[in-house]
Structure 1
Amino acid sequence: MKFSTVCSLLALAASAVAYPNPLNTDTVVVRDPSIWYNSALGKYFVFSTDNNIGIFTATTLAGPWTSVGSMLPECSEIDLAGNCDLWAPNVNYIDGLYTVYYAVSTGGSQTSAIGVATSPSMEPGTWTDLGEVISSTPADVFNAIDPNIIDDPVGLQLAFGSYWGGIYQVGLWPGVNNLASPLPGTHLAGGNSQPTEGGFVYKPTSQPYYYLFFSYGISPTVGASRPAAGAEYRVLVGRGAAGQGPFYDANGNDLTDILSPPAGTVVLPSHDNVYAPGGQSVYLDPVSGRDTIVYHYIPLNAAVGGPAYLGINYLDFSSGWPVVVS
């Protein structure tokens, strides 16, 4: 083994020690979590893949978290395979209503759609399904899953995509389910069937930049074996001057560049007992006033093929790049 390789491995090991463990306990089974706070009720809501978008609540980020039901227990009105097995929710507060975008698809399929539902409170039983926003077929360069909404100065922007041609973004106007610009829209990251997905655009109040967080690699599902070492999920990021990109990593690579290792600066890799973190969302917690990342991960010491759990950490942007902190 070359000296330079040894040094690189030692540096990687040293950096891994610096990542704090989740501030919550690992008792809540989720995938692709998204979080929001209802100040009138004094509690947080986390939305998750499975259970037709499962809903969990807690009065603090540390928990305990309680499963309280489903967002759409009667399934989505979108007439596609998978409309009773909804994926990858993304919650926001838009025009006086809590708004969740979700994906309808089946594993490995490009016949997919993104839908949206609204609620005055986020409580189960209060959600109205507005149906399809966009869809994809095998003839498209994109896959209409993994939605992310940002309300920036140019209006609502919906990011989406996984593998295939990568992550894209289109405008919505005048409503939360009205396409305002032609598909596939602006290419933000990935392509050439790289394992790039879960794009999430976020602007911290402390920075002039917009940041595109995304998951890269393989996320083991229940019953699946773990991938080769280093091929598992991790969270990467790029930044740009606008919410529509272009986004660049710390080395100056455009996130649409096809590179190996991939374009993107590492935010959260496997470390300690946290294996394959990803499916992330980022949120300004109004209680602590801190930027917060929410994700799923698999305990390294758990049996292979087991479920993923909720992870929550704070982020520090003071260096200009997001750093996971206690």
Structure 2
Amino acid sequence: MRYSIFASLLSAVTTVYGYANPMACTGICTNAHDPALIRHKDGTYWRFSTGGKIAMHSAPAITGPWTYKGAAIPSGSKINLAGRNDLWAPDVTLVGSTYYLYYTVSSFGSQNSAIGVATSTNLKTWTDHGSTGITSSAGKNFNAIDGALYWDGSKFVMSYGSFWNDIFAVNMANPPLKSTSGAANIAFKPSGTHAQEGPFIAKNGNYHYLFFSAGQCCGFDKNRPARGQEYKIQVCRSKSATGGFVDKAGKSCTNGGGTTVLESHGYVYGPGGQGVYYDPKLGPVLYYHYVDTRVGYADGMKRFGINRLNFSSGWPVVV
């Protein structure tokens, strides 16, 4: 009850004064592009991120101090595509006693992409299994990047996608090493450059919430977009994890819908690459990367951000 009252008060303050700033972070808080977050049963937190063959960091608390632990897939992916040694957009999930780490093999601007998977029992050492079967190539209406696994209560679902027709979902086998169904389009912005990617589905109450990043993600130090066109985090919800998502105004997520959860404010610029983690102490938290304008706009300077989430209104609010 005390947490609910506190969260409600913080939500009210956020509504009046703007978005809450990220929680304090100590240790190595950069090297955090497209972060994935999980907590080991011993209480240690692990963070995985784009680059360095999936860079790993660990910390005794969710805020740090974070220390570098090496590359998750040091020999590169088994997937024979350009980018097999520069892996992107990890997602990590515990299924039974096994951790599943999903990653992207691609190159910037190309549809020659695939989502791979590795497994571990300790989060420290990983066995690469190569492709999940989710692949794309020139001419397809999706790009096979940014995969994130989700258990919808009866089956595993993988959401993924970027640009073209944006975001899709497929069913996964159990255990979730391979896809088992064709792709269903679950979010699309029909106007502009279709800049929508990085999906992540999280459950709260009776709804499945589809979080995604919209706008320009990268290269802010060289080519900063018009104000408001940089990365921001949006959400739609549905009672099905594979379709029917709408935003707070009721607009379909496949027709440009999306309610903004977090965007540039104060020293925070271009937040995105997000996920949701249900922390045993903090409850639901939104984690993401962002540029700290007090430091610099380069991709390598992107920092790890965390905010609590309050779902009391039926829609997530950062606090």
Q: TM-score, normalised by structure 1?
A: 0.88
The aligned counterpart of 1:141 is 141
The aligned counterpart of 1:257 is 255
Counterparts of 2:297 and 2:268, CA distance in 1 = 13
Q: Which amino acid aligns with 1:247?
A: F
1:173-252 aligned at under 5 Å gives the runs: 173-182=173-182, 185-192=183-190, 193-204=193-204, 207-221=205-219, 223-252=221-250
Unpaired segments ≥5 residues, structure 2: 1-13
How far the C-alpha of 1:202 sits from its partner, in A, is: 0.4
SS of equivalent residue, structure 1 residue 129:
strand
Counterparts of 2:45 and 2:220, CA distance in 1 = 26
Q: Which amino acid aligns with 2:309?
A: L
Alignment of 1:63 with 2:61, yes or no, is: no
1:75-90 aligned at under 5 Å gives the runs: 75-90=76-91
The aligned counterpart of 2:39 is 37
Counterparts of 1:16 and 1:302, CA distance in 2 = 27
The aligned counterpart of 2:110 is 109
Counterparts of 1:47 and 1:222, CA distance in 2 = 22
> Residues 231 and 16 (structure 1 numbering): CA distance in 2 closer, same or farther, change over 3 Å?
farther
The aligned counterpart of 1:129 is 128
CA deviations 1:73-128 (Å, max 9, x no partner) are 110110000000000001101132011110000001000000000100101xx200
Counterparts of 2:189 and 2:232, CA distance in 1 = 17
The aligned counterpart of 1:97 is 98
Counterparts of 1:174 and 1:34, CA distance in 2 = 21
> Residues 297 and 289 (structure 1 numbering): CA distance in 2 closer, same or farther, change over 3 Å?
closer
CA deviations 1:195-243 (Å, max 9, x no partner) are 0000111002xx2111000000011237533211111100000111121
The aligned counterpart of 1:8 is none
SS of equivalent residue, structure 1 residue 301:
coil
8 Å contact from structure 2 (residues 167, 199) kept in 1:
yes
How far the C-alpha of 1:28 sits from its partner, in A, is: 1.4
Q: Which amino acid aligns with 2:126?
A: W
The root-mean-square deviation of aligned C-alpha atoms, in Å, is 1.6
Unpaired segments ≥5 residues, structure 1: 1-13
The aligned counterpart of 1:46 is 47
The aligned counterpart of 2:296 is 303
CA deviations 1:123-164 (Å, max 9, x no partner) are 1xx200011011100121110000010012231111110000
> Residues 39 and 252 (structure 1 numbering): CA distance in 2 closer, same or farther, change over 3 Å?
same
How far the C-alpha of 1:191 sits from its partner, in A, is: 4.6
SS of equivalent residue, structure 1 residue 146:
coil
The aligned counterpart of 1:293 is 286
> Residues 174 and 63 (structure 1 numbering): CA distance in 2 closer, same or farther, change over 3 Å?
closer
Tell me which moved more, 114-123 or 17-26: 17-26
Q: Which amino acid aligns with 2:305?
A: G
8 Å contact from structure 1 (residues 38, 45) kept in 2:
yes
8 Å contact from structure 2 (residues 221, 296) kept in 1:
no
Q: Which runs of 4+ in 1 moved over 4 A?
A: none
Counterparts of 1:319 and 1:267, CA distance in 2 = 13
Counterparts of 1:24 and 1:51, CA distance in 2 = 25
CA deviations 1:257-289 (Å, max 9, x no partner) are 04xxxx211100111111000000101012x15
8 Å contact from structure 2 (residues 291, 297) kept in 1:
no
Counterparts of 1:191 and 1:22, CA distance in 2 = 28
From 276, 283, 291, the equivalent of 2:277 is: 283
Counterparts of 1:320 and 1:59, CA distance in 2 = 32
SS of equivalent residue, structure 2 residue 254:
coil
SS of equivalent residue, structure 2 residue 222:
coil
CA deviations 1:273-312 (Å, max 9, x no partner) are 11000000101012x1500111000012233435211001
SS of equivalent residue, structure 1 residue 256:
helix
Counterparts of 1:223 and 1:70, CA distance in 2 = 26
From 301, 312, 317, the equivalent of 2:311 is: 317
Tell me which moved more, 22-31 or 79-88: 22-31
Identity of aligned residues (%): 40
